[in-house]
Every structure is written in C-alpha cells, then in structure tokens.
Amino acid sequence: MLLTAPRQLKMCEALPVPRSRFGDKTFRVAAGTAPPTFRKPFSREPLVPQSSTATDENNRPPLDKGGLQGGGATASASFALSLSLCKEEECYHFIPMPRTWRGALCAHPSRRLPRHLSIVLLICLSSLNPASASADSDSVTVGVFSLFRADRVEIETQQETMVSIQSGVIETRRVLVEGQRLQVERLGDRLKVSFFERDGRLLHANQAESVRTQEAPCIVSVPGRIRRKFFGGLEVAGRRGHLLPRIFVAEEVAVGQILRSEMAECQEPAALKAQAVLVRSYLRTSGERHRKEGYDFCDTTHCQFFTDFREGGDQFQQAAFDSQGLVLTFLGKPFQPLYTAACGGRTLEGFSGSAQSTEYPGYRYRSVVCGFCTNHPLFVWESTVETKELLHALKGEAREDPTETLASLAEPGKEGELGALKQKARIRVGRVLGWNIIRSNRYTIETSLNSARIKGHGSGHNLGLCQAGAIELGRQGKSMTEILSFYFPGCRIAR
C-alpha cells in the first residue's frame, strides 16, 4: 500500500526551475522520456547524478531505513519523494514524505524511478523548498501592517527568491527575481497573484488561497501607505475581509530587529543587553495575544515595535548575540516583563500581563524610585483639551457616564487606587484624540468649564524597566545584571 502525505502536488503544474536557466516557465516531465539537464538554483553548476559503487540487481542504489543511499545530496535531503505514473495525464506526481516513510515507499520496486531522475528531483525540490519557519520551535510569527487593513500588498526581493502559491491541494512554485514585483490582491475570499517584470510588464497571474516566500530579505509594502524591509519567510493570506501579511522569523533575528526598533538611539551595551533579555522573555511568554488572528505578535507597540530589518553587524545584533538565550525569570519561570520609554522619576506598581497565566507566574511590579530619566523630554509633560472633546473620548460603553469618569479622574488620590481607571482612560482618549493628550499612566486632571488641563510624568504604562533610566545607568558603568535587578527586584536571569 502506498503511503501518501496530506498534500499532493502535480509536477506538470508545479515543479519550478531557476529563471537563470528556464526563465519564467514551468515544465512537464512526460512518462517514458529522459529528464532534462538542470542547474542548481542560483548557480551555474549543473546538477549531475553522483556515482555510487554499490548497486542492487536493477543497477539502483541500495536502500536502508534512511531511504536512498549513495548520492551525498540525496542522503542529506530533508524529505523524500514518492513518484507514481498518472495514466490519465501522462505526468508524474510528487509528494513530500517524512523520513520515517522513506523505507516503506522506496521498498516497492514498482514505485522506483531511475536513480538519475530521483536525484535530480530530490535536489531541486529540497533546495527550492520555501523555508517554513513556523515549524521551527525557535521562531516567531509576526503579523505586519494589520492596522492598514490592506486589500493589496506588493513584495520585492534583492535576490532570487522562491514563491509558493497555494490553491487547494495544488502548490505552484515560481522564482521571483531581483527587480521583479509580486502583487497580491484580495478578490472576495481568494487572492489574485501577479508577477510583474522590471518595466511593469505582466509576466504571470493566477488565483490562490495563500502565497509564501522562502526565508530571505524582502521589501513588503501597502502601496501609498507604508513600505518596510523584513527578513524571514513571508506569507500573505486573506483574514477577516483583508490581507494579512505574516513574517516567520527566527527568535534571535526578531530580538535584534525589535531591539533596534525600541532603542534606536541607544549606544550603551549594558542597556541594550538588558533590553534584549526583556524582548526575548516577552517573545517567549506572550504568544497568546494574537493567536486567534493567526500570529504570535503584531508589529506595533501593542506588542513590541518591529520595523525595518538591516543587514550587517551593529550594536543591536551584538547585544542580541551577547545575551543569546537569556530570559528574565521569577520563581524559576520566565514571565512577561514590561518596559516603558521613561517612568518620569518613579515606576508604578502592578501585575504583569501574564498574571492570570497557568504556565507562567505573575510578577508584581514594585514602585522603583528612578532619578535617571530626568533628561528625557517626557519626564514632565502637560496638555490641554476641550472638556466636551474629552467627555466624548471617555464615553466608552453606553452604560458608562463620562462625566462621572472625569470626576473620578479629577479627584485627588493615590495613583495605585486609580491605576486601572487611568489606564482605561488613557487608552480611550489616545484612540480618539491621539496619544499626545495623555502620555502616561501617571497624570492628574484639572477641569474648568470649557477645558481640562492634564499634567503628568513619563511615557506609557510606567511599569517595569525605564529605558531612559537604563541607558543612563549604562553610562554610569552598571552591568546588564545590575540594571535588571534594579528595575525587577527579586528576579533572576536564566538561560
């Protein structure tokens, strides 16, 4: 009995070849004909069968539990291929196979093909297979551009990149060459996928359910709105009536990229390494935030800022490398560590976002007096807004009276007692009037007949590490461990 994988792919429709050898064409291998000569992807070296002194009675390489032997590239392939003759269409079908199935499949002489054809197909397909970072336990999935609710996304690359187009059980692969443009548009519940040449000429178009690229540097854009460079495997699919681009990226690459985005102006190695530990800890403990949307994290400050990728070594990649694998723990387990741009002289008390998690313990943040961020522009801030605009922004649910909410915020009291209300009010006002009205959770409101004056300290939620303070501590010679111990009392660094 022939074992088959869940996904079946027709070679006559889907087997790709490098553009440098065959242009944009796919090809058909007819039954009973000799295979053409191939070249390795992105290389001038021809693919030729490797000789083997050990053969069986049919002049084929022997088999063992690992599958085909004798050809170095064949033995090291990440998956095996089962090929069978399709009488109706006179073409070969190929199916990705796990290692444990190889012996069972290859043991059937009726299913075997000539050794030179098997080697050619194995090397071509395994080398061109798009990277599936989502299957890697050390990778994360980042949803990008979700705020734009795009109906069209364009992709460019700086090197030859394999593109996999999925339509039902059929997967077609094409090479996207440097200078070409891949455009994905939403057509109802399906996608229109178009390849354009450098001069704008349409090369190929078809419909699909999703589009994936192999792991490589690529430029993704929502035309006329945003354009960024990423590194990793890219997938574009329809989600809730719009396109959802997702980046599959190795954890340490993500740490370096987030570190550059969150602390772009920092030059202090100790502060950068401390921030890298927090970024990595957050990635490992907060993956449920967007799981229902189909990814682990978003690219905004709702999770962690994830902007342009840059090649080459710099202080951010060095900090990620120097702290590789390190996370912050409480009671022996990692937790969700928070950080803020500036605390305004003192951090706030409160629980981490994973306090209700059964897998990770909650950490109760302590209020830490920090006199190291006094030079930050938001150490002290003030804003004024019309009362009617503020009431409109505070309205929230229909049952809530914004007048009572404003009165509670204007009453003097301890910041801890009003912490939840101040956080809720800051988020509501920020979404309606902009984030420059209430800049942090440490603020007071003075109301008059027509206007409200808001005075505050710091930026954001004011919990955990103060980035401006950490940078100043680094300048004073404090180490990564000393910085984290100062802002997270009772915690330890572990690998």
Give the pLDDT means over successive 10-residue stretches in the chain (495 positions). 40 38 38 41 40 41 36 34 32 39 43 47 44 56 89 92 92 92 92 93 92 92 93 89 90 90 90 96 83 82 81 84 94 90 92 49 85 93 94 80 88 67 90 92 90 93 94 96 96 93
Give the burial string for 133-165 (b: 16+ CB within 10 Å, else e).
beeeeebbbbbbbbeeebeebbbbbeebbbbbb
What is residue 349's DSSP assignment?
A: P
Q: Are residues 334 and 327 in contact, defined by beta-carbon separation less than 8 angstroms?
A: yes
Q: Report the C-alpha gap between 495 and 488 in whole angstroms.
A: 17
Residue 179 sits at φ, ψ, to 5 deg, of 95, -20
- pLDDT at residue 70, as a whole number: 35
What does the H/E/C string look like for 125-169? HHHHCCCCHHHCCCEEEEECCHHHCCCEEEEEECCCEEEEEEECC
With the CA atoms of 134, 135, 136 and 138 taken in that order, what torsion angle do they form, in degrees rounded to the nearest 10? 50
Residue 36: CB atoms within 10 Å: 11
Give the burial string for 213-240 (b: 16+ CB within 10 Å, else e).
bbbbbbbbbbeeeeebbbbbbbbbbbbe
| Adjacent-strand bridge partners of 68 | 63
Q: Give the CA count within 13 Å in the CB-facing half-sphere of 404.
A: 4
Q: What share of the chain is helix, strand, coil (3-state, %, to 5)?
A: 25, 30, 45
State the DSSP H helix or E strand holding residue 228, giving kind and residue range, or none if neither: strand 226-239
- pLDDT at residue 346, as a whole number: 94
Q: Are residues 241 and 446 in contact, defined by beta-carbon separation less than 8 angstroms?
A: no
Query: Helices (DSSP H) in 237-381: which residue ranges?
Result: 251-262, 269-285, 315-322
Both tokens of residue 369? Answer: 């007096």
Q: Give the CA count within 13 Å in the CB-facing half-sphere of 269.
A: 9
- pLDDT at residue 156, as a whole number: 93
pTM above 0.95, yes or no: no
Q: Report the C-alpha gap between 78 and 122 in whole angstroms.
A: 9
